[in-house]
Amino acid sequence: MPNTPSMKQDEISTIQALLTVTSTVYAVGIVSLPRTITEQTQTPDVWQGLLLASLFGVGVVFINVKLCRRFPGKTFYELNSVIAGKFISLFINIAFMVYCVMICSLVSRMMAEFLKALALERTPVSMILLPFLLLIGYLTSGGLHAMVRLVELFFPLTFIVYLLLIILNINHFDIDNLRPVFHQGWGPILKSLKVVPFSTLGFESMLILTNFMVNPQKAWKAGGIGYSIAMALYVMMVTMVVGCMSVEEVSQLQWPVVSFAQQIEFPGAFLERFEIFFIILWTIKIFMTASNYYFYLVAGISQLTQKWNGYIFYLPLIIIFAVSIYPQNFIQIDNFGTVTGYFGMIICAAVPLVLLLISMIFCIRGNLDGKRS
């Protein structure tokens, strides 16, 4: 197990790792992804780009697991120094922690804006962020085991609401809204790849989780299936939203999935606002995603400082809060998301690939006792 103090006892099962990956990937991007994709494509070809991104993501999961499996008992933060040396590994680790700060801040800010627009109109964004971030710090103080237990508890509920959202909108689905297919060739599909990096991130979870697993030899199974489930949900949701509302309408909505949920009608006004269930459970999903990334950040700080105490749990929240409130409008938030997505691709996909190639070329691997061979 990783050598970070007070983390040695945190072991998770294969199914817990699978659900954690799924929850990390499938979260904040879903409410706005249909809009960002249709803005780029301006055609019904919205699902093909996501499918290509999914295949890429599964490949990155394989690379990340392969890298970690070469160094049993070590997390991404620890194996870097074995491969690249202490000096370069320090820069890699800091870059990964900066990435965790960026994505945790962005996820938190998008959640706050979402709740402010739909439910808390008179509440300042900062007042929504503060309790949210403090709860993240409190959950993280319980360790990885507490976090995965929360994922196990709420994942079935969010999955059921998701399925109901799809099933109850089937009567609005019009296949003509998804035609013609490939009308303008591969151009619009490739353009859509510019906006999907942020929504497809999450494969980096296996860089941290692999060697916390009871059976790390099943890490590829957990990561691959977990990531595939999340991306399948993305593809299904985007396809259904565009199929029910058309490209033109979706591209004009800030939160297309919320409008998608508002279309649901029950006979006799039994339940007038089904989107309330979606908003509540989606907020819980955001909380789980932000908590996961915050744990990855705290694990890195703990590894660098060789400490695991209350300061580690709460001090980084100050930085995340400051970064969260920095964007002044939705345009800046979207730009921040784009930068975070591309930065994540470099740190979480390109860097592990380079490290894996170096370890294979120079026959560098770790033993079960954690020593280099």
For residue 172, give every residue at least 6 positions away whose Cβ sits within 8 Å of its Cβ, in sequence order, or none. 244, 245, 263
The 10s digit of each residue's pLDDT in 79-119 is 888 898 889 999 999 999 999 999 999 989 988 888 888 77
Q: Domain containing 102 — which CATH number?
A: 1.20.1740.10
Nearest to 76 by CA among 224, 212, 198: 212
The 10s digit of each residue's pLDDT in 180-232 is 887 777 888 888 787 777 777 888 899 989 888 888 899 999 999 999 988 88
| pLDDT on residue 38 | 84
For residue 91, give every residue at least 6 positions away whose Cβ sits within 8 Å of its Cβ, in sequence order, or none. none
* Rounded Cα gap, residues 122 and 162, in angstroms: 29
Residue 211 in any domain: the answer is: yes
* Rounded Cα gap, residues 163 and 171, in angstroms: 14
Residue 9 in any domain: the answer is: no
Residue 7 in any domain: the answer is: no
According to DSSP, the residues that pair with 213 across neighbouring strands are: 12
Structure tokens at 354: 């380079």
| pLDDT on residue 272 | 60
Residue 369 in any domain: the answer is: no
CB 53 within 8 A of CB 196: yes
Residue 372 in any domain: the answer is: no
What's the mean per-residue pLDDT of the chain? 84
Number of domains the chain contains: 1
Residues written for the chain: 373
The 10s digit of each residue's pLDDT in 42-88 is 888 888 888 888 889 899 999 999 999 998 888 888 888 889 888 99
Residue 105 in any domain: the answer is: yes
Print the domain residue range for 122.
14-361
Widest Cα–Cα separation across the chain: 70
Residue 116 in any domain: the answer is: yes
* Rounded Cα gap, residues 340 and 202, in angstroms: 12
Please check the confidence at residue 133 and state whether its pLDDT lies above 90: yes
Nearest to 350 by CA among 213, 197, 232: 197
Residue 368 in any domain: the answer is: no
Please tell me the pTM assigned to this model.
Answer: 0.88
* Rounded Cα gap, residues 36 and 164, in angstroms: 24
